[in-house]
Amino acid sequence: MNDPRTLHADKIIDGKAFAEGLRERIGTAVGKLKDEHGLMPGLSVVLVGDDPASQVYVRNKGKAAEAAGITATDHRLDETTSQAELLALIDQLNNDPAVHGILVQLPVPDQIDPNAVIDAIAPAKDVDGFHVINTGRLATGQMTGPDAAMVPCTPLGCRMLLEDRLGDLSGLDAVVLGRSNIVGKPMATLLTQASCTVTVAHSRTRDLADVCRRADILVAAVGRPQMVAGDWIKPGAAVIDVGINRIAAPTEDDPDKMRLVGDVDFDSAIEVAGAITPVPGGVGPMTIACLLANTVTAACHQNGIEPPAF
């Protein structure tokens, strides 16, 4: 059977390749900061507990940071760590001038309030972009200067991929499927700032397929495997699939085998879309690359240096 990725290779938005180029540009910028300003951007990642997926994410973030020349420090805390202990560590990192970015890997154990954790991180060091001050700055368009918003990494990566493929986004109809604080809402804000006409759709949207079918740009971020069918997509539309879902894919040799799929039914969607991100290899690699970009931006802002444009 022919692989649709091969048949429609020209439609693939290769997030992995774009992220590799972005990381190279970040590495160049870090080298310049060290040579010209004696500045070494520093990222501290905090992990509470021993969730296997979180351990993988933290390890990958550390490797990517070090490869780009960023000083990466892990703080691994026991599953029983109290909220007070975690907040004390965050306060210590807030006051450490060598730390320019702080990321607490979510989820955290039940005894810890994630909102209290996010609120405790200094907005200037909030490289995830989740602090209410950063969300407010993003919503009001405060995107330049030392008090600019830190933009959540996944929506930032999505916007980069769209602008790289489509160029000027102004005037396009965009539908963001999902309304989370981490992806959906900031994604809608970024597209609005790019002068798109934006609809935020969700599980209670009436005639959801028809709403999606109007979109020149469709961003799917609902966490439901293969929910968006090909006939939900406007012919020629750009589709950004943020979903990462594991589904059963048993074989005769491995009845427990799983595979990764997005929120979009890729095989049917690629027949209709003009451009589409695959899963894996689409949005995922951009998230870590944008985390590194945010760390460099934060380091520049904290030291009165104009950050590079990535």
Given the residues 11, 125, 126, 128, the one annotated as active site = 128
Q: Is 14 a catalytic residue?
A: no
Separation CA 11–CA 265 (nearest Å): 15
CA-nearest of 40, 65, 54 to 300 is 40
Q: Is 61 a catalytic residue?
A: yes
Given the residues 11, 61, 185, 234, the one annotated as active site = 61
Residue 10, C-beta contacts closer than 8 angstroms, at least 6 positions apart: none
Given the residues 11, 105, 185, 216, the one annotated as active site = 105
Separation CA 114–CA 121 (nearest Å): 11
**What is residue 39's DSSP assignment?**
-
Residue 83 structure tokens = 């909220």
Separation CA 301–CA 153 (nearest Å): 17
Separation CA 186–CA 155 (nearest Å): 6
Q: Is 128 a catalytic residue?
A: yes
Cβ burial 114-132 (10 Å sphere, 16+ → b, else e): eeebbbbbbbbbbbbbbbe
- Residues serving a catalytic function are 61, 105, 128
